[in-house]
Amino acid sequence: MEAIILSKDQFEQLIAKIDDINERLQSTNPRKTETYLNNKQFMEMMDVSLRTAQTWRDEGRITFSQVGNKIYYKLSDVEKFMQDYRNSAFAKR
């Protein structure tokens, strides 16, 4: 095994180049941050039955994806669904 010795300046330059490469990779390949819920998680979160979840999908109230027999919901769509049915508090007098 061969040992390579670097000066402090050479080491700092190497680290700076690695950081630059890392930043470029991060900016060109953004990570997916979307969270998906399966049907069971959605029903638990909303505290609704299987039938209610099916009705909401059938009526187009909630956006979903279906892969085979599995149903998935984007968390952001569930949050939007909640906002769409939000009732504002009454103003105090």
For helices 50-58 and 39-46, the axis angle rounded to 10 degrees is 100
> What is the tens place of the pLDDT at every residue in 23-48?
888 887 666 678 999 999 999 999 99
- pTM tops 0.85, yes or no: no
Going 38 to 41 to 44 to 47, the CA torsion angle's sign is: negative
The pLDDT of residue 88 is 85
